[in-house]
Amino acid sequence: MYTTMSSSTTTTTSPSKPQFRNKLVSSLNDIFVFVGGAILALLLLWSFCSFVSPNSTITFNISSPTRPKPTKLVEPTNSETTPPMNCAQNELAHDPPDHTFYDDPTLTYTIDQKPIKNWDQKRQHWLAHHPSLAQPDRILLITGSQPGPCKSPVGDHLLLRFFKNKVDYCRIHGHDIFYNNALLHPKMTTFWAKLPAVRSAMVAHPEAEWIWWVDSDAAFTDMDFKLPLSRYANHNLIVHGWPNMVYEERSWVSLNAGVFLIRNSQWAMEFIHAWAGMGPQTPNYSQWSKTQKATLPDKLYPEADDQSGLIYLLLEENQKWADKIYLEHEFYFEGYWKEIVGSLRNVSDKYLEMERRSTAGGRG
């Protein structure tokens, strides 16, 4: 069952090796220094395209009269008793009269406020009034970049290609996707910028059970990959990492915060509050920088960062958080491109084999 999972999901040029992460600190614009990895990811995409095109022609040709007609959103109204619109349209056309958390004037999307209280109940209440949006395990993928252009045009080109990769993945799997290029907290730049984006997405998308953060410089290398959500049923945060490196080596690269899945929940509200509490927007930032450095011996540079913050919370506030955090290490939920690249040949071969089988099956 897990054969697709043994191949990598996402590769990233993000930090997995301290010396690389170090470079990343200077500015978001520098994320494309690892052009090599990016190009490999792109080559894989192109190889997908090269076999998808002929197939799509075939699909077009075999469309038969027995194919179900496309569902119309608005059914013709022949009698008074026919409802003019389906449920989803009705819901979206006007706000239900019942009050939800959105009517609370103190509601805030910003990260530097206290966590929203009773968020699980508020979400459930909202979902009860928007039943057509309530699907189990609904996923919203969030990615993003800095607001301005990259220093080099190839950077902007690669941002586009990386985004297309994510859009395609989400399209195939029915996930929603949002690209955030606004700096939601002026002091939370570089890798800290993801936390305000995730926090506000939780409030703006109560329909999403999961928020899946994926760094802009990460690409899906297996477009068929499906998240094994059933094994995360009792967890609220899933991140790629190795427990022994976290708890025994206390290593800065024991996990990677560039890709994570977080459940839209009260737990996440509070966890993000604690996590962001180490960020550059707080008066405690310089103290946290020292604390993180003292906790993680192999951390190279002095400023507090989100990845070290996550490891710190696992180590030092273990009782409070760790039982809800799943360190995925049975497959590459996220991996450094150098570790992944050797396995891509086999992923491509698997898809080529599928294509051969489908043409041999008489469709061609």
- Taking Cα atoms as reference points, which of 3, 13, 5 lies closest to residue 259? 13
Min dist. Cβ of residue 281 to ligand NAG (A): 8
Backbone angles phi, psi at 177, to 5 degrees: -140, 145
CB 278 within 8 A of CB 44: no
**Any idea what DSSP says for residue 359?**
I
Min dist. Cβ of residue 276 to ligand NAG (A): 9
The stretch among 30-38, 232-240, 282-290, 326-334 that binds ligand NAG (CB under 6 A) is 282-290
The stretch among 45-53, 67-75, 217-225, 276-284 that binds ligand NAG (CB under 6 A) is 276-284
The answer to whether residue 121 forms part of the interface with ligand NAG (CB under 6 A) is no
Min dist. Cβ of residue 279 to ligand NAG (A): 9
Give the Cα separation of 40 and 341 in Å (integer): 8
Give the Cα separation of 278 and 301 in Å (integer): 15
The stretch among 33-41, 215-223, 278-286, 311-319 that binds ligand NAG (CB under 6 A) is 278-286
Q: Exactly one of 90, 121, 132, 346 binds ligand NAG (CB under 6 A); which one?
A: 346
- Contact pattern from residue 317 through residue 336 relative to ligand NAG, giving x for each residue in contact according to CB under 6 A and a dash for the rest: --------------------
Min dist. Cβ of residue 8 to ligand NAG (A): 10
Min dist. Cβ of residue 18 to ligand NAG (A): 25
Min dist. Cβ of residue 278 to ligand NAG (A): 8
Backbone angles phi, psi at 24, to 5 degrees: -65, -25
The stretch among 34-42, 164-172, 310-318, 341-349 that binds ligand NAG (CB under 6 A) is 341-349
- Taking Cα atoms as reference points, which of 166, 134, 151 lies closest to residue 41? 166
Six token digits for residue 61:
């040709």
Give the Cα separation of 31 and 70 in Å (integer): 43
The stretch among 136-144, 148-156, 219-227, 279-287 that binds ligand NAG (CB under 6 A) is 279-287
User: How many chain residues are in contact with ligand NAG, going by CB under 6 A?
Assistant: 7
Min dist. Cβ of residue 158 to ligand NAG (A): 25
Determine whether 197 is exposed, middle or buried from the number of CB atoms within 10 Å of its CB (0-12, 13-18, 19+).
buried
**Cα dihedral 127/129/133/134 (nearest 10):** 40
Q: Exactly one of 342, 357, 361, 362 binds ligand NAG (CB under 6 A); which one?
A: 342
List Cβ neighbours of 364 (8 Å cut-off, separation of 6 or more).
Answer: 58
Q: Exactly one of 282, 291, 358, 359 binds ligand NAG (CB under 6 A); which one?
A: 282
- Tracing tokens 């179900």 back to the chain, one arrives at 68
Min dist. Cβ of residue 347 to ligand NAG (A): 9
In 73-150 the beta strands, taken as DSSP E runs, fall at 139-144
The rounded Cα 59 to chain-centroid distance in angstroms is 31
- Tracing tokens 């894989």 back to the chain, one arrives at 44
- Taking Cα atoms as reference points, which of 195, 311, 158 lies closest to residue 244? 311
The answer to whether residue 343 forms part of the interface with ligand NAG (CB under 6 A) is yes
The answer to whether residue 277 forms part of the interface with ligand NAG (CB under 6 A) is yes
- Contact pattern from residue 153 through residue 192 relative to ligand NAG, giving x for each residue in contact according to CB under 6 A and a dash for the rest: ----------------------------------------
The H-or-E segment that residue 41 falls in is helix 35-61
Min dist. Cβ of residue 66 to ligand NAG (A): 39
Binding site for ligand NAG (CB under 6 A): 277, 282-284, 342-343, 346
